[in-house]
Amino acid sequence: MDVRVCEVAALDDPGRKVVEIEGQQIGVFRLGEEVFAYENRCPHLDGPVCQGKMLPLALEAVASDGTSSGRVFSKTQMNIICPWHGFEFDIRTGVHPTDKRVRLRRIPVRVKDGAVYVTIARATHANQR
């Protein structure tokens, strides 16, 4: 069943909204023209991952002699960081940046007529959190 979450315009860019539908918390994220949705549960210890900070992937710049040139931030990859233990996930894929086996549970999401909808097994309405 498709459940309307909000208007796309109501989401900051980048931004997110966490909703509860039939007892399931879902994080809906906007990055540019793309929208993604995940279960708000970190695979590490079930923390509220979708409520964590959104930050670009931090990369260590390495000089030709092998020494550190400092940190730089990705211009293409935005991560969500679980507030409990710092596990990071790529918002576009839901995958942990270093262990591709660790990933968030994706929720089907689509945009229709300017509104964001998630698909769940059964639902009657969305309550904003």
Residues 6+ apart with CB under 8 A from 57: 73, 74, 77, 78, 79, 88, 90, 97
pLDDT at position 59 is: 83
Q: Tokens 């931004």: give the residue.
A: 15
Q: How far is CA 90 from the centre of its chain?
A: 7
pLDDT at position 122 is: 64
Q: Are 51 and 27 in contact (CB under 8 A)?
A: yes
8-state DSSP, 35: E
pLDDT tens for residues 70-93? 888 888 899 999 999 999 999 999
- Which domains are delineated in the chain? 2-128 (2.102.10.10)
**CA angle, residues 88, 48, 114, in degrees to nearest 5:** 85
pLDDT at position 129 is: 47
Cα Rg of the chain, angstroms: 16
Residue numbers of the chain with a pLDDT score lower than 50 = 123-124, 126-129
